[in-house]
Amino acid sequence: MSRRVLIFTHPSRAEAGEMGDHVAAELLKRGIEPVTEMDDGEIELAIVLGGDGSILHAAEQTRERGIPIVGVNMGHIGFLAESEVEDITDVVRQVADRDYQVEERMTLEVTVAHPETGRVERGWALNEATVEKVERSRMIDVAIGIDGMGVSSFGCDAVVLSTPTGSTAYAFSGGGPVVWPDVEALLLVPISAHALFTRPMVVGPDSVLAVEILSISTSAGQIWCDGRRVLDAPLGSHIEARRGTKPVRLARLNPGPFTDRLVRKFNLPVTGWRGGPQQS
């Protein structure tokens, strides 16, 4: 067998494990070797059975090698997922037929410069890097900047630094705009900020977003990358987020417009929509 497909399953859901066994059997019938753990061999694609968290976990392992991911939703909204679990037969067929397109999604590279030692920690995110307070009962005092210039300072619960992919995740819950994934941009969304100018901001893909943890803050900070990987940010830390050099690759089985996915996943009401005039 020359073709190999990696299968990720949600670790604590029995139904995901059972579906993984089913997918493995179906791949074998089509002459494709199923792989359940990352190894050094050539891997064509990864099938992820779970929700967005499972897809983000898979991205941690596949990003460096550029392995495309196709997500099969077994969670709630599953915005990153390409298909629902009831369509698994079609998913396996399209993978076997190579009937998919690969889409690259922008990532964030995150750096944290520590004030005392000058040490720089690094991280990355597909959805967002969130600067949060360590002391849950207090606010965190921050100053924000863009392209080396200070913009504002305020107390808040958090600051979300997001990609377009992450615009429908935490940034959306915090009042940020939905940004189509083919738009190259970065987002900054303050959460529960105590200031007049705390609107979400959208900047170009070559801009650098910055957050500083002010020395007057009553809480130190942490940076959570996709809610999975954490970096410490003590008082005085300088945090920067910029476009990542390595994207995450998603396999698209149904390459329709993003609008269709938005309406389906959020179950948006479109009653009364008639559409525009037809082109002759």
Burial profile 24-47: b = 16 or more Cβ within 10 angstroms, e = fewer: bebbeeeebbbbeeeeeeebbbbb
Q: Write out the two tokens for 35.
A: 């792989």
pTM of the model: 0.93
What are the boundaries of each domain within the chain? 4-105+247-266, 108-243
pLDDT of 181 reads: 94
Q: Write out the two tokens for 199.
A: 């609107």
What dihedral do alpha carbons 25, 28, 29, 32 form, nearest 10°?
A: 140
* Positive or negative torsion for Cα 246, 160, 206, 119: negative
pLDDT of 238 reads: 97
Rounded to an integer, the average pLDDT of 61-78 is 92
Give residue-wise pLDDT tens across range 111-140.
999 998 889 999 999 999 999 999 989 999
Cα separation, 218 vs 92, whole angstroms: 52
pLDDT band at residue 1, thresholds of 50, 70 and 90? low
Phi first, then psi: what are they for 250, rounded to 5°?
A: -110, 135
Domains 4-105+247-266 and 108-243 share a fold: no
Among this protein's residues, is 52 annotated catalytic? yes
Rounded to an integer, the average pLDDT of 214-240 is 97
Give the pairing type, strands 83-84 and 101-105: unpaired
Rounded to an integer, the average pLDDT of 162-182 is 96
Give residue-wise pLDDT tens across range 23-46.
999 999 999 999 999 999 999 999
**57 exposure class (CB count in 10 Å sphere: 0-12, 13-18, 19+):** middle
On whether the CB atoms of residues 249 and 100 are closer than 8 A, the answer is no
Q: Which of 52, 141, 157, 226 is catalytic?
A: 52
Question: Could you tell me the CA-to-CA distances from 64 to 108, 121, 151, 245, 259 in Å, in that order?
Answer: 14, 18, 34, 10, 29
Q: Which CATH superfamily is domain 4-105+247-266 in?
A: Probable inorganic polyphosphate/atp-NAD kinase; domain 1 (3.40.50.10330)
pLDDT of 280 reads: 55
Burial profile 216-249: b = 16 or more Cβ within 10 angstroms, e = fewer: ebebbbbbbbbeeeebebbbebbbbbbbbeebbb
pLDDT of 278 reads: 63
pLDDT of 276 reads: 74
CATH of domain 108-243: 2.60.200.30
Q: What percent of the chain has pLDDT over 70?
A: 99
Residue 10 scores a pLDDT above 90: no
Cα separation, 163 vs 110, whole angstroms: 12
Give Cα 158 to chain centroid, integer Å: 17
Residue 174 scores a pLDDT above 80: yes
Cα separation, 30 vs 32, whole angstroms: 6
Alpha helices by DSSP H, the chain = 14-29, 52-62, 88-96, 170-173, 258-266
Question: Could you tell me the CA-to-CA distances from 143 to 18, 170, 202, 225, 235 in Å, in that order?
Answer: 49, 20, 17, 20, 12
Which amino acid would we find at residue 5? V
pLDDT band at residue 104, thresholds of 50, 70 and 90? very high
Give residue-wise pLDDT tens across range 261-275.
899 888 899 888 888
pLDDT band at residue 78, thresholds of 50, 70 and 90? confident
Rounded to an integer, the average pLDDT of 235-245 is 97
pLDDT band at residue 12, thresholds of 50, 70 and 90? confident
Residue 226 scores a pLDDT above 60: yes
When computed from its CA atoms, the radius of gyration of the chain, rounded to whole angstroms, is 21
Residue 2 scores a pLDDT above 90: no
Residue 245 scores a pLDDT above 70: yes
Is residue 233 within a helix (H) or strand (E), and if so which, with residue range? Answer: strand 229-233
Mean of the per-residue pLDDT values for the chain?
Answer: 94
